Structure 1
Amino acid sequence: MSDSSFAYTDERFADLQMLRYRLAGFSNLSLSQKKYVFFLSKATLVGRDITTDQFGEFNLLIRKTLEAVYTDEAVDRTTADFKGMEVYLKRVWFSNGIHHHYGCEKFVPEFSEAWFRKVVAALPRDVWERVGYTSADALLAVLCPVIFDPAVQPKRVNQAAGEDLVATSACNFYRGVSQQEAERFYAERRDPEAGDEQPSWGLNSKLVRCDGRLEEELYRTGGLYGAAIKQIVYWLKKAAEVAENDQQRKVIGLLVDYYETGDLRLFDQYSIEWLKEQEGMVDFINGFIEVYGDPLGLKGSWEGLVEYKDMVATRRTETISAHAQWFEDHSPVDPRFRKPQVKGVTAHVICAAMLGGDEYPASAIGINLPNADWIRARYGSKSVTIGNLTEAYNQAARGNGFDDEFVIDEPTRTSVDRYGDVCDDLHTDLHECLGHGSGQLLPGVASDALKSYGSTIEEARADLFGLYYIADAELVRLGLVPDAKAYESQYYTYMMNGLMTQLVRIKPGHQIEEAHMRNRALIAHWCLEHGKNVVELVKRNGKTYVKINDYPALRTLFAQLLAEIQRIKSEGDYEAGKTLVERYAVKVDPVLHEEVLARYRKLNLAPYKGFINPWMKPVEDADGNIIDIELDYTEGYAHQMLRYSREYGLL
């Protein structure tokens, strides 16, 4: 799918590399399908400000002020302070706020507070008036401590054991509420008559203290974020007019009803009907979905994704989903925790057409929804592997020297080079399509029983499912891997990442916070401890490497850990989950960390990647009717971000 005329890599700054992704096959869509993609894309972009505000109370205010400085022609753009501010602003755009999108720590500004005060004071008066302040001094009194004082809001999501995770997290999901109060509030919301079919309480609201009482501010038209949600609804209705079938129109209608009321039961109905829609070429995600941004794992960050099927690559995921019951029946977990009947598991490889909210600029490469365990159990799940984003990552990684530096020897490098892309894609498919959809909770176990450890345990469960099965002979028989040795490339790179190379994303002295990183560390360190003759860290020429001595035995370790992780999930064993995470997933060896960072610096690579969206431009005839949608891949990062702020700055 490579195209020599298409530039995958673009601008680089801080620890970030911007990439572009191609919409292969878009020109083959019908006009109606292109319009459907376009209108859904508008509904994806108008929610941008919601995510930014959810990630921090002052994020929008800071972004708007920095943009005013950045675009003010009177500001000297040649100074070191301006250049430092420019990088800071680009990071704010990338992370939807002032905290790192992955590590969640607050950015350290590389410009002085004195310079910032001077340039803001010199801005036209309407700048601070537009954001609700009567003077520059009043605005600066709010902004400067948040930007420059490292003690103010240091973490967007704090996961440190023993602390009040709500009070010490800067995310904007709570106001005047303690962790204990929030957990009690939502425990009391459970509806006894709903049994196991509980709505995802708290998913679409901010919990605040008002006149001494705890109240929810719902995200809906006429409520919190109403101006942006109203525009989401407008574009969803436009999309419904050109939808491919009646089921798509039904899905959009339910989503609109949910946005207009904030009723989580409607969101569940929407999710069920969304699962049933399988015939259309085009699909989308739009809403308050993933809960990684909330330390309690309750509140959904807003995100959007528009997609269309890659029919050739989808044959791989269809093969997996068609055999879902076999995988479930042969899982190495206690039979009590297996699903007796796997329902509605579907999977596709898709092309992302537009990314928004918590999926932009950094995006997942695989998604499995819905998240509600009871809906998965009764109705199934939809999984997607985002093929054109994976393609962009792979193209950007060609010949970058990473494997030469960190993979132990030439035979292992040859294996990774030969099988790596295939097995990475397959592990993602197994993780999303089957891993998240596997297993079941025992009766009476609440879906949030693992509390702040739930996200890490769930990601570990899905990863282990994929790791266990990627080595299975059944995958060779199904033609999903080329031979019985291919899985070894995935085992090696996974263990190398979990034990060593993901540390390039951690600052010296910090612990691991992000759920996916914790998951990989948990699996890798548990296997290292329990398989001393299976996998080890060795020194060669003064450098540390991962050495795997027995690949089949490593698979046995993955099976043992999967069985325990599934037990913890199924039984809601909070203490066991906490013990696993705190023992294996959090701490960083400072000596190894320093070594890995030094070796990585020599490669001059950016540890994080994100994407610039294509610019969709409608082509109209003389009467104003859309006759085509053109794709422009030339827009620069800063231009796109400033344009989005102008066109979609709704809050």
Structure 2
Amino acid sequence: MSLQRIYRLGQSLKTKAPALFICRLDSTNVSAEKFLPTPPADHEAHKDRWASESSDKYTRVEEVPGRWHYVEYLLPKKTVPEPPKHEGRAPSGWQPPAPEPPPLPYFVPRTRNHMLPVYLRKEIRGPRFITQVKHIEGDLWAFHNDLKEYLESLAGKEVLSQVHELGSYVGYKGAYVEEPVGGSTRVGLKVDELEGNGNGDDGHEEREYQCPYRDMSDEVYSNETPFLNLDCRVAFEGLSEKEKKYAHYLSQASWFGGLIVLFQTSRESPLIFLLLERLFRTQDLESLKALALEQAGFDEEDFKSLLVYTAAFYSNMGNYKGFGDNKFIPAVAKDKLEKLLRLSKAWQADPAALEHIWSEVSDPLYSLRDSEKHLGFPPKATTTYFSKNCTEKDAELVSTFMKQKGIEGYITRLFKKQATEAGDQDCYEIRYASVLSSEDKERAEFLGSDVLDKSRVTFTRGDYSPLLKLVVDNLRLAQENAANDNQRQMLGKYIDSFTVGSLDAHKDGSRFWIRDKGPGVESYIGFIETYRDPAGIRGEFEGFVAMVNRPQSEKFGALVERAEALLQLLPWPRSFEKDRFLRPDFTSLDVLAFAGSGIPAGINIPNYDGIRQDEGFKNVSLGNVINADDKSSKANFMTAEDNEMFNKLKNASFEVQVGLHELLGHGSGKLLMQNKDGSFNFDQEKVRLPHVGPGPDPEAKVTSWYKDGETYDSVFGSMGSSYEECRAECVGLYLCTIEDVLK
């Protein structure tokens, strides 16, 4: 013990209590006794129990049990003293408990410090906030249901919750505590005390609850979201004037077609797009920001949140994430956004139109009901590939019908009209995307109706007609600037497909596309990927235009040259590969325009199994996407040294992985099929299943295969896209550490 501590202790004891012990430091010839008061006259010395242990090394201790009360105030209290009486809330905001507990089947006692046992827990994954109410006595479930109903009535949305019966507590997803969570944009709610008479009428005013939108990691984009530039200036300037016009009109076609994705994402997405377009096109950003800060109640972070939401909406082409399919909302309070809209030049220019748009979109813009959080089959999720009354069972029924009829669903949507009178049939409408409508007689032979079980199926067209008309108009202008006859025929087939609603025409266009080797301007357009259809068979519109990066393309060309040798390194027999490897055109491109729900790093197309397997495909690596990098970011859990090495090598590593993923991942493998005439595209007697470790007989024969008319997507359905991406990724990871591959 230091001399300073002894002195402070002595001064404290002189003023607050008699001496209870004496400390001696013989080694320093300093006694603490001079700092302590003299013991009282009735002081009774007790035998020193530690005398036998006495040593010059230790201090002498004297016990005086009759004086323990002098130091009781130094011991930790088990309870907090009763607070002063208050008629209402204390200045700090503390609310005293009601005199008598309310007549309810549950009771929430105060903690020992007279506070409510309400705690805000911040989970690491997220961050995500969970509000917990602990120490609930009585009917735990009744308490849970009452509070859940109350919170939902205030929040205007479903509140996720959990009940822990053994622990006697409940939890609610969100920051439902009385005190504000500091520093965030908030929306006001009224939250009553958990004690009182059960209906909020206990003589005190309700207090405003503040909800931190910016901390909802799953539902909002952070204001720290990086914005990356896709540099394509050098590649574009290297084009001839004719190539630039060709690229321009293809880009216009892609952007107009990309608006279809809004309708394929959610019912509110087209209206949100109109709202944002009106807001930002009518007024320059600086004056809009000044209006928001000075008159609409925004702060700097609020306005940044609005810009981040807008950018995220355009990037995903809708209010659901292109990768993940979960909904996101603005991280700015609804009342602030409405105030800004009403003050904006857009609203002043056309108040009736903006009033209508806002009245339609304001609720779904912010709604986070369980059925709206993710894309998928109703009623648990939402989709626009099916009408709202279509169930997963309806989708399976129609998918089976389409498979039997040899119909692929890439350019369709499904709408159900339920029977309303006795004797009527349910009607399923398979609607094709096209410029022409069902009333147009031109090439309408595939339209009509058919019978499905006890229901009726009708085939119609005209979906997305106005937008596809704009796509077709620009494809015709691009056709005038095509480099060769192959490109003109390719675009002609695309025009034909989008005009009449013919998937076969798009397949023919894709055949011309894979023959267009090494063009200066590369492009592909149509209903391509089936990721977002819950059934996994309907395509989302996508269009891209890019210029060739010739130095990088030479590297990928070398990889193509060695592809057949590298395929032999994969862990399955040669019989599971195509009879002849169709060498694709593998180029590195700098993206000029990419319209869709997100930009990938690489593409292997077309997705039509018959063409990929028998005629070929193209691999595309998007170089300026791979090399787009946020230099300021730091990877989690890395030392500065490791982070520096990671940033130095990650683009080159990713480039290798993308190349292997696209060329040998998607490009490998063979669909074992039974042809229409009953023959097979593989030798049933010789082909055996691969054997990995202990398990099935290594000589096991193949017992299942694709039948005529079946495709990978039609067989695997909703899991098909995910399974194929995992397969391609595993091939890339398997090969990327092999030295011969890295050469």
Displacement of 1:345 in angstroms is: 2.2
In 2, the alpha carbon distance for the partners of 1:191 and 1:130 equals: 47
Contact 2:537 2:718 in 1 (8 A): no
The one-letter code matched in structure 2 to 1:219 is A
- After TM superposition, the score normalised by the length of structure 1 is 0.62
What is residue 427 of structure 2 aligned with on the other side? 213
In 1, the alpha carbon distance for the partners of 2:357 and 2:477 equals: 39
Structure index of larger Rg: 2
In 1, the alpha carbon distance for the partners of 2:400 and 2:645 equals: 50
Gap regions ≥5 residues in structure 2:
1-220, 419-425, 437-461, 674-704
Displacement of 1:55 in angstroms is: 0.9
In 1, the alpha carbon distance for the partners of 2:650 and 2:334 equals: 47
1:182 and 2:415 aligned: no
Contact 1:67 1:89 in 2 (8 A): no
The one-letter code matched in structure 1 to 2:266 is G
CA deviations on 1:444-502 (whole Å, 9 max, x unpaired) are: 424122222222211111111111222223225xx3xxxxxxxxxxxxxxxxxxxxxxx
1:470 and 2:742 aligned: no
CA deviations on 1:293-342 (whole Å, 9 max, x unpaired) are: 22222221111111122221111111121222223333212444222221
What is residue 232 of structure 2 aligned with on the other side? 22
What is residue 241 of structure 2 aligned with on the other side? 31
1:364 and 2:364 aligned: no
Task: Report the identity percentage.
Answer: 24
Alignment of 1:105-504 (within 5 A): 105-116=326-337, 124=347, 127=350, 130=353, 136=355, 140-151=358-369, 153-158=371-376, 165-175=377-387, 176-190=389-403, 201-210=408-417, 212-222=426-436, 223-358=462-597, 362-393=598-629, 396-397=630-631, 400-402=633-635, 405-407=636-638, 416=646, 419-443=649-673, 444-445=705-706, 446=710, 447-448=712-713, 449-476=715-742, 479=743
Change in CA separation of 1:167 and 1:337 when aligned onto 2, cut-off 3 Å: farther
Contact 2:370 2:381 in 1 (8 A): no
CA deviations on 1:341-392 (whole Å, 9 max, x unpaired) are: 212422111121222233xxx4111111011222211012100111122222
Q: Secondary structure at the match of 1:174?
A: coil
In 2, the alpha carbon distance for the partners of 1:124 and 1:391 equals: 41
Contact 2:319 2:329 in 1 (8 A): no
What is residue 77 of structure 1 aligned with on the other side? 292
Change in CA separation of 1:130 and 1:357 when aligned onto 2, cut-off 3 Å: farther
Displacement of 1:409 in angstroms is: 9.3
1:98 and 2:319 aligned: yes
Change in CA separation of 1:293 and 1:28 when aligned onto 2, cut-off 3 Å: same
In 2, the alpha carbon distance for the partners of 1:62 and 1:365 equals: 28
Contact 1:56 1:156 in 2 (8 A): no
Q: Secondary structure at the match of 2:393?
A: helix
Displacement of 1:439 in angstroms is: 0.3
Displacement of 1:188 in angstroms is: 1.2
The one-letter code matched in structure 2 to 1:366 is G
Q: Secondary structure at the match of 2:233?
A: coil
Change in CA separation of 1:128 and 1:341 when aligned onto 2, cut-off 3 Å: farther
Change in CA separation of 1:334 and 1:295 when aligned onto 2, cut-off 3 Å: farther
Displacement of 1:278 in angstroms is: 0.8
Change in CA separation of 1:32 and 1:109 when aligned onto 2, cut-off 3 Å: closer
Displacement of 1:284 in angstroms is: 0.2
In 2, the alpha carbon distance for the partners of 1:470 and 1:286 equals: 31
Change in CA separation of 1:67 and 1:284 when aligned onto 2, cut-off 3 Å: closer
In 2, the alpha carbon distance for the partners of 1:149 and 1:419 equals: 42
The one-letter code matched in structure 1 to 2:607 is N
**Aligned residues between the structures:** 441
The one-letter code matched in structure 2 to 1:469 is L
Contact 2:291 2:340 in 1 (8 A): no
Change in CA separation of 1:48 and 1:456 when aligned onto 2, cut-off 3 Å: closer
CA deviations on 1:168-199 (whole Å, 9 max, x unpaired) are: 3333211021112112212211256xxxxx66
More helix by share: 1
Contact 2:409 2:538 in 1 (8 A): yes
Contact 1:352 1:388 in 2 (8 A): yes
- After TM superposition, the score normalised by the length of structure 2 is 0.55
Q: Secondary structure at the match of 2:372?
A: coil
In 2, the alpha carbon distance for the partners of 1:120 and 1:311 equals: 47
What is residue 636 of structure 1 aligned with on the other side? none
CA deviations on 1:9-45 (whole Å, 9 max, x unpaired) are: xx99453424242332332322211221122111122
Displacement of 1:259 in angstroms is: 0.5
In 1, the alpha carbon distance for the partners of 2:401 and 2:667 equals: 28
Displacement of 1:248 in angstroms is: 0.7
Change in CA separation of 1:335 and 1:458 when aligned onto 2, cut-off 3 Å: same
Q: Secondary structure at the match of 1:17?
A: coil
In 2, the alpha carbon distance for the partners of 1:119 and 1:17 equals: 25
What is residue 48 of structure 1 aligned with on the other side? 258
What is residue 121 of structure 2 aligned with on the other side? none
